[in-house]
């Protein structure tokens, strides 16, 4: 663990121990309105000397942004403003917003943070009996006295936080706390989701069907959108905060605001200017490179994720056959359930026998005693499922699915399925990277050069609902036709226009909002991907025992 | 509280110096679509709104220039209907997947 605790982190710890842990130990951070505004207000006060709360007091010396360490207290701090008169020192902490109407004048986190600064000042030879919180919006100075009780509380929190850091044990989420409503880390922490799953695991067997209300603390959809550039002769350039897409023949064909991009996918030889690439990397936007045929070649990425603990856990689990198998079992069982749901809902005359068998196979998968057995169960289920999938292509008698084949696909439906599976793997790859996993090390798929095994693992449960559904819709609605395919010597491939149609259909599906079967809120599939990947990380950290695959009923 | 949705904002500015004007215009292009000379429409999340204000605050001279930000409410809640165009209609700027 890092030696000294930043006083700011101690304030977070007082506010919510889990919040502090995620930020400080896991190195995760997320901005929301409040955090951006907080930094903005801080900067404003720093720059704006007219607002100096002390400019009428000429006796004192004012120092801005003073960094100090207190090895004995175990704290380091950056003091916004230090007022010094001889040996006497008073730290001032700026806070955005208004002074709260409470007897203490300021909330505990601020008081603890100031007190920790005070203790550091004392250790550095100053006399320090009180600090001041300056509330920017109400322009009010609120004094905080470092009395016995506050010092005791501060020291207590310091040792509690040290212990959490040494034991590497993430504090549990707060229970139904209003604090979570405005917490920028809610999407990482998943407080209600984790609490619900833990509760369900505790009660398993005794009491079934508890349904606690899970608050929707994550946004329904992403603020950012993917960019796909298909085809040779295109190039990307940066102009200000805009990404320009140029075509060799037609000039500038598109402008996209950089701050709204989530990922950039380049198919075939697409040029990227260095300024554009560097800007994308600095913003943490992955640039993924594919061959013209959709084969994933690699990713250009800025600094990698800081959550080293997660990757260590991932390697530990992947090396452990039993634990890997447990995760794989949930994923495959979930996938088979989703295959069954797909047939049950969309097959014009569902076969009771097939549904029954899939149901059984999904239960068998849960109990498979080895990875090989699981593979066998998955294969049997796939055969049943793909044997019926043709019946779902009811709206378009020009196309049919005889059997699943690939490398290269022999018919249009298989060509589209293969293409969609590649796009889906890409999506999981990006999500895993964003959460901090190593996408190449899986629990079910074994590592092989260039194969993002964990992405393949995680996409299993989504294949029927995302890829297969998209393919069926595209054919049934006749968005795809003969002209979208070309026969190559070996098989069938999509034309450039066909690929764009497929990607368009896929994106529609990803943005579709659906009700989460477990948590009951309505969000886009893209958000659900992230929730699932985060839940997987919670399994590795031991917070929940079993990976809850996403399965629709 | 808006957890997901974006609100539609109309941002207009008077900048007294041509160099600053250019910088403000360039910065605005990162947030929305120009719908008129010195008028932009931006669909922003609450966080985006603060980022816009922070970006512009750093660019303008506070005793000379002025910027007005009008909140037209949720972008998908009929904000568009509250803007009447006579003549050429400006394009919508809601972000969606770009496929070219
Ligand atoms: S969401 Fe709630 S429990 Fe989780 S870190 Fe934030 S405040 Fe703490």
CA distance A37 to B54: 8
Provide mean pLDDT across the span A206-229: 72
Nearest to B99 among A39, A219, A504 (CB): A504
CA distance A435 to A155: 33
Rg of chain A on CA atoms, in Å:
28
Instruction: Report the nearest atom of ligand 1 relative to the CA of A174.
Output: 3
- Long-range pairs, A410-416, Cβ under 8 A, ≥24: A410/A491, A410/A492, A411/A492, A412/A480, A412/A484, A412/A485, A412/A492, A413/A471, A413/A475, A414/A492, A415/A485, A415/A491, A415/A492, A415/A493, A415/A494, A416/A471, A416/A474, A416/A475, A416/A480, A416/A494, A416/A502
Are A181 and B1 inside 8 Å of each other by CB?
A: yes
- The residue among A393, A456, A449, A391 whose CA lies nearest residue A424 is A456
Provide mean pLDDT across the span B39-61: 90
pLDDT in tens, A384-426: 898 888 888 776 666 776 667 767 777 888 889 989 999 999 9
CA distance B79 to B91: 14
Percent of chain A predicted with pLDDT > 90: 43
Decide whether any atom of ligand 1 lies within 6 Å of the A16 Cβ.
Answer: yes
CA distance A159 to A285: 38
Burial A27-39 (b: 16+ CB within 10 A, else e): ebeeebbbbbbbe
With an 8 Å Cβ cutoff, is B22 touching chain A? Answer: no
| Residues B18, B38 contacting (CB under 8 angstroms) | no
**pLDDT above 60 (res A207):** no
Residues 6 or more apart whose Cβ sits within 8 Å of residue B58: none
**pLDDT above 50 (res A49):** no
Q: A54-68, A113-127, A266-280, B17-31: which has the minimum mean pLDDT? A: A54-68
Structure confidence at residue B93 (pLDDT): 58
Nearest to B30 among A32, A224, A241 (CB): A241
- The residue among A326, A526, A317 whose CA lies nearest residue A437 is A317
Q: How far is the CA of A195 from the centre of ligand 1 (A)?
A: 11
**pLDDT above 90 (res A539):** yes
Distances (CA, A) of A37 to A33, A401, A475, B8: 6, 54, 48, 19
pLDDT in tens, A61-108: 778 888 899 999 999 998 988 988 888 899 999 888 888 888 888 999
CA distance A377 to B71: 56
CA angle, A174 as apex, A170 and A178 as ends, to 5°? Answer: 145
At which residue do the structure tokens 């009008």 appear? B70
CA distance A95 to A78: 14
**pLDDT above 90 (res A383):** no
pLDDT in tens, A236-278: 999 999 999 998 888 898 999 998 899 999 998 899 999 999 9
**pLDDT above 60 (res A212):** no
Decide whether any atom of ligand 1 lies within 6 Å of the A82 Cβ.
Answer: no
CA distance A96 to A178: 19
Instruction: Report the nearest atom of ligand 1 relative to the CA of A19.
Output: 5
Structure tokens that stand for B24 in this block? 């403000």
A156 half-sphere exposure, CB direction, 13 A CA radius? 8
Structure confidence at residue A148 (pLDDT): 93
Query: Is cis: bond before A159, omega within 30 of 0?
Result: no
At which residue do the structure tokens 């603990």 appear? A309
Decide whether any atom of ligand 1 lies within 6 Å of the A455 Cβ.
Answer: no
Task: Decide: helix, strand or coil at residue A83.
Answer: strand
Residue B1: pLDDT band (50, 70, 90) is: very low
pLDDT in tens, A329-348: 999 999 999 999 988 888 87
CA distance A546 to B51: 40
Structure tokens that stand for A252 in this block? 């500038």
ipTM of the complex: 0.84
Tell me what the pLDDT averaged over chain B comes to: 85
Provide mean pLDDT across the span B56-62: 90
Residue A2: pLDDT band (50, 70, 90) is: low
Instruction: Report the nearest atom of ligand 1 relative to the CA of A217.
Output: 1
**pLDDT above 80 (res A226):** yes
Structure confidence at residue A105 (pLDDT): 87
Cα diameter, chain A:
90
Q: How far is the CA of A15 from the centre of ligand 1 (A)?
A: 9
DSSP-H helix ranges across A51-147: 108-123
Residues 6 or more apart whose Cβ sits within 8 Å of residue A376: none
Decide whether any atom of ligand 1 lies within 6 Å of the A6 Cβ.
Answer: no
Are B48 and A259 inside 8 Å of each other by CB?
A: yes
Decide whether any atom of ligand 1 lies within 6 Å of the A18 Cβ.
Answer: yes
Residues 6 or more apart whose Cβ sits within 8 Å of residue B99: A228, A230, A500, A503, A504, A507
Nearest to B95 among A181, A225, A241 (CB): A225
**pLDDT above 50 (res A52):** no
Decide whether any atom of ligand 1 lies within 6 Å of the A285 Cβ.
Answer: no
Structure confidence at residue A51 (pLDDT): 42
Structure confidence at residue A153 (pLDDT): 95
Give the DSSP letter string of A393-422. -TT-TT---SS---SS-SSHHHHHHHHHHH
> In this structure, what are the phi and psi dihedrals at residue B14, rounded to the nearest 5 degrees?
-115, 115
Are A219 and B49 inside 8 Å of each other by CB?
A: no
Chain A contacts to B (CB-CB under 8 A): 31-33, 36-37, 39-40, 43-44, 181-182, 216-221, 223-230, 234, 240-242, 245, 247, 253-254, 256-260, 500, 503-504, 507, 511
Structure confidence at residue B19 (pLDDT): 93
| Residues A155, A127 contacting (CB under 8 angstroms) | no
Q: Which residue has the higher pLDDT, A482 or A21?
A: A21
> In this structure, what are the phi and psi dihedrals at residue A91, rounded to the nearest 5 degrees?
-80, 140
Which residue is closest in CA terms to ligand 1's atom 2? A180
Which residue is closest in CA terms to ligand 1's atom 7? A180
For residue B4, the chain A residues in CB contact (below 8 A) are: 219-221
With an 8 Å Cβ cutoff, is B91 touching chain A? Answer: no
Closest CA in chain A for residue B32: A257
pLDDT in tens, A422-481: 999 999 999 999 888 999 999 988 777 778 899 999 999 999 999 999 999 998 888 888
Nearest to A257 among B6, B30, B53 (CB): B30
Structure confidence at residue A45 (pLDDT): 62
Closest CA in chain A for residue B49: A33
pTM of the model: 0.86
Are A40 and B53 inside 8 Å of each other by CB?
A: yes
Structure confidence at residue A142 (pLDDT): 93
**pLDDT above 70 (res A55):** no
Q: Which residue has the higher pLDDT, B96 or A143?
A: A143
pLDDT in tens, A26-37: 888 888 788 888
CA distance A452 to A459: 11
A269, β-bridge pairs:
none
**pLDDT above 90 (res B86):** no
Provide mean pLDDT across the span A121-133: 92
Are A221 and B4 inside 8 Å of each other by CB?
A: yes
Structure confidence at residue B3 (pLDDT): 42
Sheet holding B39-44, edge to edge: B33-36, B39-44, B7-14, B66-74
Rg of chain B on CA atoms, in Å:
14
Distances (CA, A) of A519 to A20, A196, A523: 25, 8, 10
Tell me what the pLDDT averaged over chain A comes to: 86
Are A228 and B99 inside 8 Å of each other by CB?
A: yes
């Amino acid at each position: 663990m890092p030696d000294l605790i930043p006083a700011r982190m101690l304030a977070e710890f007082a506010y919510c121990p889990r919040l502090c842990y995620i930020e400080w130990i896991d190195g995760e951070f997320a901005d929301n309105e409040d955090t951006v505004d907080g930094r903005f207000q801080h900067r404003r006060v720093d720059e704006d000397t007219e607002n100096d709360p002390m400019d009428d007091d000429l006796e004192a010396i004012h120092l801005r942004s003073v960094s100090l360490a207190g090895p004995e207290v175990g704290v380091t701090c950056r003091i916004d403003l230090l007022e010094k008169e001889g040996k006497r020192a008073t730290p001032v902490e700026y806070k955005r917003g208004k002074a709260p109407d409470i007897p203490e004048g300021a909330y505990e986190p601020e008081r603890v943070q100031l007190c920790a600064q005070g203790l550091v000042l004392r250790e550095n030879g100053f006399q320090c009996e009180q600090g001041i919180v300056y509330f920017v919006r109400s322009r009010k100075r609120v004094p905080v006295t470092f009395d016995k009780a506050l010092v005791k509380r501060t020291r207590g929190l310091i040792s509690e936080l040290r212990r959490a850091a040494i034991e590497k044990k993430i504090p549990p989420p707060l229970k139904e706390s209003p604090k979570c409503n405005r917490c920028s880390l809610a999407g990482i922490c998943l407080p209600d989701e984790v609490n619900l799953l833990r509760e369900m695991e505790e009660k398993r067997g005794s009491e079934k069907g508890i349904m606690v209300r899970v608050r929707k603390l994550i946004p329904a959809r992403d603020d950012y959108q993917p960019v796909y550039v298909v085809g040779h002769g295109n190039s990307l350039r940066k102009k200000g905060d805009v990404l320009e897409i140029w075509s060799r023949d037609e000039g500038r064909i598109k402008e996209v605001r950089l701050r709204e991009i989530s990922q950039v996918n380049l198919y075939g030889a697409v040029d990227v200017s260095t300024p554009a690439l560097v800007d994308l990397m600095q913003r943490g936007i992955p640039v993924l490179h594919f061959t013209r045929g959709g084969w994933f070649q690699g990713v250009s990425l800025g600094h990698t994720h800081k959550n080293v603990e997660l990757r260590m856990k991932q390697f530990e689990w992947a090396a452990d056959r039993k634990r890997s198998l447990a995760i794989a079992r949930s994923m495959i069982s979930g996938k088979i359930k989703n295959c069954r749901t797909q047939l049950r809902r969309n097959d014009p005359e569902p076969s009771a026998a097939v549904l029954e068998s899939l149901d059984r196979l999904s239960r068998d998968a849960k109990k498979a005693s080895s990875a090989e057995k699981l593979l066998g169960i998955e294969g049997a289920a796939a055969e049943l499922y793909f044997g019926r999938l043709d019946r779902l292509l009811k709206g378009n008698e020009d196309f049919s699915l005889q059997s699943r084949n690939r490398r290269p696909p022999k018919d249009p439906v298989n060509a589209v399925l293969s293409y969609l599976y590649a796009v889906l793997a890409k999506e999981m790859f990006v999500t895993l990277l964003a959460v901090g996993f190593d996408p190449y090390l899986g629990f079910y798929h074994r590592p092989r050069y260039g194969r993002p095994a964990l992405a393949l693992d995680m996409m299993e449960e989504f294949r029927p609902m995302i890829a297969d559904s998209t393919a069926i819709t595209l054919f049934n609605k006749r968005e795809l036709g003969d002209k979208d395919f070309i026969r190559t010597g070996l098989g069938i491939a999509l034309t450039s226009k066909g690929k764009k149609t497929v990607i368009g259909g896929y994106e529609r599906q990803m943005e579709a909002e659906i009700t989460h079967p477990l948590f009951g809120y309505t969000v886009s599939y893209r958000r659900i991907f992230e929730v699932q990947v985060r839940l997987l990380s919670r399994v590795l950290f031991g917070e929940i025992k079993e990976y809850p695959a996403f399965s629709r009923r | 509280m808006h957890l997901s949705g974006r609100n539609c904002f109309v941002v207009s500015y008077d900048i007294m110096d041509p160099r600053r004007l250019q910088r403000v215009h360039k910065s605005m292009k990162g947030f929305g679509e120009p719908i008129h000379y010195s008028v932009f429409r931006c669909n922003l999340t609450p966080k985006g709104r603060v980022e816009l204000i922070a970006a512009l605050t750093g660019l303008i001279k506070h005793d000379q220039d002025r910027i007005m930000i009008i909140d037209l409410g949720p972008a998908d809640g009929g904000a568009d209907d509250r803007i009447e165009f006579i003549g050429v209609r400006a394009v919508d700027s809601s972000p969606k997947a770009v496929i070219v």
